[in-house]
Structures are given as C-alpha cells and as structure tokens.
Amino acid sequence: MPKPSSPFLSRRGLVAAGGALGLVAALTACGGTDKAKDGAGDKGATSASGPWSFKDDLGKEATAKSTPKNIVAYTGTAAALSDYGVQVKGVFGPTRLADGKPDPMAGTMDISKVEILGNVYDEFNVEKYAALKPDLLATNTWDGTYWYVPEASKDKILKLAPAAAIGVGDKVSMDKALERTADLAKSLGADLNTRKSADAKARFDAASAKVREAVKANPGVKVLVGSGSDQMFYVSTAKTSADLKYFESLGVEFVNPEQDKLDPQGFYESLSWENAGKYKADVILLDNRTQALQPEALKAKPTWNELPAVKAGQVAPRVTEPIYSYEKCAQILEDLAKTIQNAKKLG
C-alpha cells in the first residue's frame, strides 16, 4: 500500500510546531506507576516490575524505566491495542469522520476518550503530543518509516518519547503482523491468556481455513485489488502488503500489475481512467479507506462501469489497512471467503 501522500491522498499543510522544542527539554523520560500484570514481558520486553524494552520491526529497541502508560499511537495501532485491553492517551491518523462518527480505522475504540493529534496525513500537533507527556509512540511501518509521523516534524516528535513500529508491509505477512502486534500488547500489560484472546485466535484460524476451502471449491477466480481517485485507478500488487501476501498464501489468485510499472515504492500501478480495463479480473477488492472513491462515486467513471467485475456485481471492499488484532482480521478473512465462494468466473 502506498503512502497517503502519493496519489491516494494529497498532502495537507505541515504541522505548526512552534515552541515544541522548549517542551521537549521540559519532559521527563518516563511515566507513572506501573500496574501491569506480572509476566507482561515478551520478545525483548522485561518484567512489569522493572525496566521495559521492546525491539520493534525497524530493528530498534524502545526502552523506558517502567511499562509505558502514557501511550500515543497511530489510530489503527491504537485500535488493535484496544482490542487487547491496552488503552492509549492520544492518537494520530484517520480517527473521526466529517459527521463526527468514528473512522473505520478506529475499530471499536472509544474515540471520545483519546486526544486526537491529527486526523489526516501530515497532521500531528506536536505541542498537544508533548502535553500528554508520552512515554511511548506506537505505529506501523510499511517501508522503514514511522507510519503517519510527518517527515517535517518527525525529529521533534521522536525526541519526546521512545517509538515502536510494527511491520505490515514489504516481506511481512498478516500472520506475522498479528503476532508482533500481540507481542507489543503483551509487553504493555495485556493478558493474552484470556478466553477472549483464545477465541479470537481460534476464529482467525478457522477463517483462514474457510478461505482455503473457498479457493478449492471455486478455483481460478482472479482477484484485482484496486483504489480509485478522481484522476487515476490504482492496481495493487499482492507482494508488498501483509494482508494480500497472507491471502495469496491461502491460495487466492491475484491479478498483479507488471513489475516495471509499479510506483517507486513497489505498491501499485497507476492507470488513467481511460486505461482502467488493462487487467481483467473476476473480482475487484476496492480500497475502503475514506480518502478513496467508493462504488457510488465511481459510477461517474464510464470505464469503471465497463469493468467485467463491476458489471457482474463482484466488487467487495478491501480493508486496506487492517486493524491487526485476531478478532478484526478474522472478520476480514470470513468476508473474503464468502466473496471467493460466491464469485462467478467471467472469462
């Protein structure tokens, strides 16, 4: 998946961060009393009663004098942590829709209880972040950078607290991203030995089996992953996103764009709407993010209406940025299994 600053979403004005450097000097390195449960440590993490550390997927080790409590996270990461019972103080990224309702990226997190530092790409209020006295910043990483941390202010932001990033792109598959998100949640005090956690993992495993079964029962269904903007139609490759890589491992057959036509980051091919029919597919998984055009808006594009999958009514939403908890990803797989199972091959 590409950066939102590329064709999927234009960059917004850079965060006004005046005065933030003075706040940096005033902050202490760690937060309050740790009440995490014993045994909260995981890969790279120490026990709750002593210093905390976590080696992230950028190969960097985040450390604190005790288990972080004042956590600020990318909205999708925060939503996953919330599913494990770990609450954050602030979020950045798509959180609230224009009508005030939670963005899908927020999952079941109560957004009224968090400070929203930025709601779109390149929006991150550094002064509000500093005022929260953060002792951990948590986010995802697609390409070796901290997802949704603005380039212009990242140095100021990263000076304020340790940061941990979970890999969700490149060579990572969904199952690994889930495992690592659970590792982070456990290090922050989540109890993964609950019935709820066991049921969620079991549901995910069962849903994976359903996708395998659907592919075997209806072989040869070709799936295209697309996203629409006003000027372009973007066709994603299954090779550089954790969700698609996992679906492919379950047997799903994707229409992959030509390698030499991909964007510099290797996520998608950009097609003008005149050329939107370049690749034939039986099913289209369409980017469900708020910045991408949805089916109703796409009806205004004549070439969209002519795509065989569109004519056949075989367009399903793609959760382009999954919330990496077993509960949320199980639902994605269950929906995918139904889509494959019910698809007609269009020739």
Place of tokens 């941390």: 149
- Considering the entire predicted model, what is its pTM? 0.85
* Phi, psi torsion values for 73, nearest 5 degrees: -145, 155
Q: Could you tell me how far CA 227 lies from the centroid of its own chain?
A: 16
* Phi, psi torsion values for 242, nearest 5 degrees: -60, -40
CA–CA distance, 166 with 29 (Å, rounded to integer): 22
* Phi, psi torsion values for 238, nearest 5 degrees: -85, 5
Helix 174-187 crosses helix 242-249 at what angle (to 10 degrees)?
A: 130
**CA neighbours closer than 13 Å in the CB half-sphere of residue 337:** 19
> DSSP labels for 250-266?
TT-EE-PPPGGGB-TTS
* Phi, psi torsion values for 52, nearest 5 degrees: -110, 145
Give the single-character DSSP code of 146: -
For each of the chain's 347 residues, which pLDDT tens digit applies? 544 544 343 322 222 223 333 333 333 333 333 333 333 333 433 345 689 999 999 999 999 999 999 999 999 999 999 999 999 999 999 999 999 999 999 999 999 999 999 999 999 999 999 999 999 999 999 989 999 999 999 999 999 999 999 999 877 999 999 999 999 999 999 999 999 999 999 999 999 999 999 999 999 999 999 999 999 999 999 988 999 999 999 999 999 999 999 998 889 999 999 999 999 999 999 999 988 999 999 999 999 999 999 999 999 999 999 999 999 999 999 999 999 999 999 97
Give the single-character DSSP code of 346: -
Q: Amino acid identity, residue 229? A: S
Closest alpha carbon to 200 in 315, 40, 44, 85: 85
Closest alpha carbon to 129 in 271, 261, 234, 19: 19
* pLDDT at residue number 4: 54
Q: Among the residues of the chain, which ranges form H helices? A: 20-26, 75-83, 126-131, 154-160, 174-187, 195-217, 242-249, 295-298, 302-305, 308-311, 326-342
* pLDDT at residue number 161: 98
Burial code of 52-81, b = ≥16 C-beta within 10 A, e = fewer?
Answer: bbbbbbbeeebebebbbbbbbbbbbbbbbb
Give the single-character DSSP code of 286: E
Give the single-character DSSP code of 340: H
Q: Which two tokens stand for residue 304?
A: 């969209």
Closest alpha carbon to 319 in 331, 308, 307, 305: 331
Closest alpha carbon to 20 in 98, 115, 122, 124: 124
- Within 10 angstroms of residue 347's Cβ, the number of other Cβ atoms is 6
CA–CA distance, 139 with 57 (Å, rounded to integer): 11
Q: Among the residues of 8-59, which ranges form H helices? A: 20-26
**CA neighbours closer than 13 Å in the CB half-sphere of residue 69:** 12
